[in-house]
Amino acid sequence: MQIIFVELINSDTMIHEKEMADQDVAGAASLDSAEDYRARVAHYKRHYEPIASGGPDDPEHEFSYIKCIENGKQIIMNKIKGYMPGRVAQFITNCCHCHWTTKKKLFLTRHGQSEYNAMGRIGGDPDLTEMGERYALALKDFAESAICRDLETGKELPARLWTSSLKRTRRTARHIANPTIIRDGYPWIQMKPRIWSNLDEIYAGACDGMTYREIEEQFAKEAIARKKDKLTYRYPRGESYLDVIQRLEPLIQEIERHREPLIIVGHQGVLRMIKAYYKGIPREEAPHQTLKLNHVTELIPHAYGCDEKLYNLLPDETPGDDGQTKH
């Protein structure tokens, strides 16, 4: 087992003040709390020992380490070799330049009800039903009022929109407006759709377009195998959830790089894995997470976990059993 030391060095006092406000003393506005935080920081400084700070002859140069200085302005790597250390280094170099004082907000939603949802079928590339179209219009209003705008100040915020390459996600997102706003003196196309095939639903292979009952009747052994181990099971000529995790990895790095609010209009299988990543859910449990139709899940990652909010955009409508929620 190889041990890699990771050191983040930042002298920006604004970030330190923001940390004081958002982390240990969140919700406690008293002067005593602020002074306690500063006292603890001062204590840490007295005992803090940076990695390999003793010059070229420092024995700690024999360690594997990554130093990220001033939000990625300088990155120092030492004895980083091999597949996994290389992936760790890639992840850190992608993310360490981010503005940590900005809270990330990630919104996950399934597409509106599709024709296959109504029929209890999986996969395919069907269009939306009438209810799915109503959800698309409700999502437009939600995006413009709750994602593209600061709820406290009413100020317009730059925001991002991602969809899969499948018709039902693109049509669900198509009503969301894309005005050009000014961001830091430059034009920014609001909610410009970005299409990712990596976000496509788990491919069911020979079972694509079938109901789960049909699968149990025609592929009985496959149905049993999937129930035993949903994570590693791979559909005949199709994908497993492990395959989905593999193709989502570069997208997770993209998500981590961005600070703007992001909404992903996707599919239950794929969104399960993204949610599990941010919520710290074991991957064995991830395929069993439920994301309902007509709902938006808001995730707010922070230093000690990930907060979650759920919004029902069509409270007066019930999509019924789409054949997928429990599978």
Max distance between CA atoms of the chain, in angstroms, equals 71
Task: Take residue 43 and report the two structure tokens written for it.
Answer: 């204590």
Nearest to 197 by CA among 150, 276, 250: 250
Residue 188 shares a structural domain with residue 71:
no
For 75, counting Cβ atoms within 10 Å of its Cβ (0-12 exposed, 13-18 middle, 19+ buried), the class is middle
First vs last C-alpha separation in the chain: 37
Q: Which of 95, 118, 134 marks a domain boundary?
A: 95
Q: Which of 70, 95, 120 is the last residue of a domain?
A: 95
- Asked which of 65, 95, 125 is the last residue of a domain, the reply is 95
> Which residues are the active-site residues?
111, 201
Q: Clarify whether residues 172 and 298 are in a common domain.
A: yes
Give the 3-state secondary structure of residue 202: coil
**Alpha-carbon distance 298 to 308, whole Å?**
6
Tell whether residue 213 is among the known ligand binding residues: no
**Would residue 317 count as lying in a domain?**
no
**258 annotated as ligand-binding:** no
The CATH number of residue 37's host domain is 3.40.50.300
- Confirm whether residue 111 is marked as ligand binding: yes
- Residue 304 inside a domain? The answer is yes
112 and 167 belong to one structural domain: yes
Are 68 and 154 contained in the same domain? no
CATH number of residue 110's parent domain? 3.40.50.1240
Q: Is the same domain home to 202 and 300? A: yes
168 is in an annotated binding site: yes
CB 91 within 8 A of CB 33: no
pTM: 0.86
Residue 276 pLDDT:
98
Asked if residue 49 belongs to a domain, the reply is yes
111 Cα distance to chain centroid: 17
* 220 inside domain: yes
Residue 115 annotated in ligand binding: yes
* Same domain, residue pair 125 and 53: no
Q: How many C-beta neighbours within 10 Å does residue 6 have?
A: 14
SS3 (DSSP) at 318: coil
Considering the domain architecture, whether residues 143 and 269 belong to the same structural domain is answered as: yes
The reply, when asked if residue 267 is annotated as ligand binding, is no
| Cα gap 166→267, rounded to integer Å | 10
Contacts by 68-76 with C-beta closer than 8 Å and gap 24+?
A: 68/6, 68/7, 68/8, 68/9, 68/92, 68/93, 68/96, 69/9, 69/10, 70/9, 70/10, 70/11, 70/12, 71/10, 71/12, 71/96, 71/97, 71/98, 71/99, 71/100, 72/96, 72/97
Torsion of CA 167, 173, 174, 177, to 10 degrees: -160
Q: List per-residue pLDDT tens for the chain, 327 residues long.
A: 789 999 988 877 666 666 666 554 445 445 566 777 778 888 888 888 888 877 778 888 889 999 988 878 889 999 999 999 998 998 888 877 665 556 789 999 999 999 999 999 999 999 999 999 999 999 999 999 999 998 888 889 999 999 999 999 999 999 999 999 999 899 999 999 999 999 999 999 999 999 999 999 999 999 999 999 999 999 999 999 999 999 999 999 999 888 899 999 999 999 999 999 999 999 999 999 999 999 999 999 987 889 999 999 999 988 766 666 656
User: Can you tell me which residue has the tokens 């990330």?
Assistant: 104
58 and 174 assigned to the same domain: no
Structural domain including 67 reads 4-95
| Residue 107 parent element (H or E) | strand 106-110
Q: Is residue 88 part of a domain?
A: yes
In a domain, 320, yes or no: no
Domain match, 302 and 251 both = yes
Q: Are residues 33 and 124 in the same domain?
A: no
Predicted pLDDT of residue 99: 55
Q: Are residues 125 and 272 in the same domain?
A: yes
Reduced to 3 states, what is the DSSP secondary structure of residue 139? helix
The neighbouring-strand residues paired with 181 are 188
The answer to the question of whether 112 is labelled as a binding residue is yes
Domain count of the fold of the chain: 2
C-alpha count within 13 angstroms, C-beta hemisphere, residue 95: 16
Token digits for 33?
């709390």
Do residues 76 and 158 both lie within one domain?
no
Q: Does residue 327 lie in a domain region?
A: no
Q: Which two tokens stand for residue 312?
A: 């029902």
Residue 326 lies in a domain: no
Is 320 labelled as part of a ligand binding site? no
Residue 71, annotated ligand binder?
A: no
pLDDT (0 to 100) of residue 327: 64
